[in-house]
Amino acid sequence: MTKLVTIYGGAGFVGRYIARRMAKEGWRVRVAVRRPNESLHVKPYGAVGQVEPVFCNVRDDASVRAAMVGADAVVNCVGVLTERGKNSFEAVQAEGAGRIARIAAEEGVGQLVHLSALGADANAASSYSRTKAEGEARVLEAFPSAVILRPSVIFGPEDQFFNRFGKMAEKNPVLMLVGGNTKFQPVYVDDVAQAAVKGALGQAEPGVYELGGPDVDTLKGLMADMLRIIHRNRPIVNLPFWVGSLMAMGFSALQTLSLGLFHNGILTRDQIANLKVDNVVSKDAKSLADLGIKPTALQAVLPDYMWVYRDGGQYDAIRESAKNLREI
């Protein structure tokens, strides 16, 4: 009998890669999302009817249980970068994660994989990091054999990291950063998906895995590499944290004054707190290597999707080549 996996948040950036790989493994894939009609892009990942988006709100027990009925494995990819309405860090990343784990245990699910984040810490200054840690604790309390993945910043064609800064570099003469000296260890989205699949298939030992790529650099260094790839000559200005805090307060005030019509997805005080801490894999942590996965380098992937931010887009290479032509 074909096995079934339920992937909460399976139509998102990381979830879609996990869904595609689980379908290739021959599993039926149930993609639990808030807006199934906007998640139809996952259906072609498998044969007809193999991958199906279904409605789910992780803040509701009945909704989570309905999406999980009959599942052999569960993967939770749900998380928020900024709070909006009822989708607070606490509601989604702590309570939601605990709810999924508790119901998975009640339903007799065989394997549970939980996607957390590098930097999860119960004592962190950032609410994002604290609730990630609280979510992990709730998951392990309800489902002790869970596999927990803590990726550093994730890169790939649909990412909200390099794409965001690429757009900034495309439109602005100066690239301004907050936390330019903070270190990151970007990890490729499909490497994270491979790790999740190993957990779902029961091929990974229970516990916490910290996931990072082979490249460790400061935010400023990563942006310098990105600018070289997109052929943009932009000065990089590293703003002090206090300036970033003032900017974040201004954006948040605008959100309040506009009664939520403007959502501050640009820069928040919580993100400032996160940027003060390096985001790299711990020396003694279990990592991709323990899962038999060779991490993918930035340079192997970044040029394949960042070309859209070059001045000539897809024709950039042709234009550069044409400069070498001479009249006969």
Q: Phi and psi (nearest 5°) for 147?
A: -105, 120
State residue 328's pLDDT score: 47
Report yes or no: 183 and 279 within 8 Å, Cβ to Cβ. Answer: yes
State residue 260's pLDDT score: 86
Does some domain include residue 174? no
Is it the case that residue 320 has pLDDT exceeding 80? Answer: no
Burial class, 229, CB count within 10 angstroms (exposed 0-12 / middle 13-18 / buried 19+): buried
Is it the case that residue 322 has pLDDT exceeding 90? Answer: no
Predicted TM-score (pTM) of this structure: 0.94
Q: What percent of the chain has pLDDT over 70?
A: 98
State residue 327's pLDDT score: 52
pLDDT digits (tens, 9 = 90+) for 132-163: 999 999 999 999 999 999 999 999 999 999 99
User: What is the span of the domain harbouring residue 56?
Assistant: 4-156+186-213+281-295
Does some domain include residue 146? yes
Residue 109 structure tokens: 């699910």
> How do strand 217-218 and strand 183-184 relate by DSSP bridges?
antiparallel
Is it the case that residue 271 has pLDDT exceeding 80? Answer: yes
pLDDT digits (tens, 9 = 90+) for 38-78: 999 999 999 999 999 999 999 999 999 999 999 999 999 99
Does some domain include residue 227? no
Residue 287 structure tokens: 């990592």
Helix or strand holding residue 220 (H, E): helix 219-229
> Which is it for the CA torsion 158, 159, 162, 165, positive or negative?
positive
- Counting the structural domains of the chain, the total is 1
Does some domain include residue 132? yes
Is it the case that residue 315 has pLDDT exceeding 90? Answer: no
Give the CATH number, domain containing residue 52: 3.40.50.720
State residue 130's pLDDT score: 97
* pLDDT interval class at 22 (50, 70, 90): very high
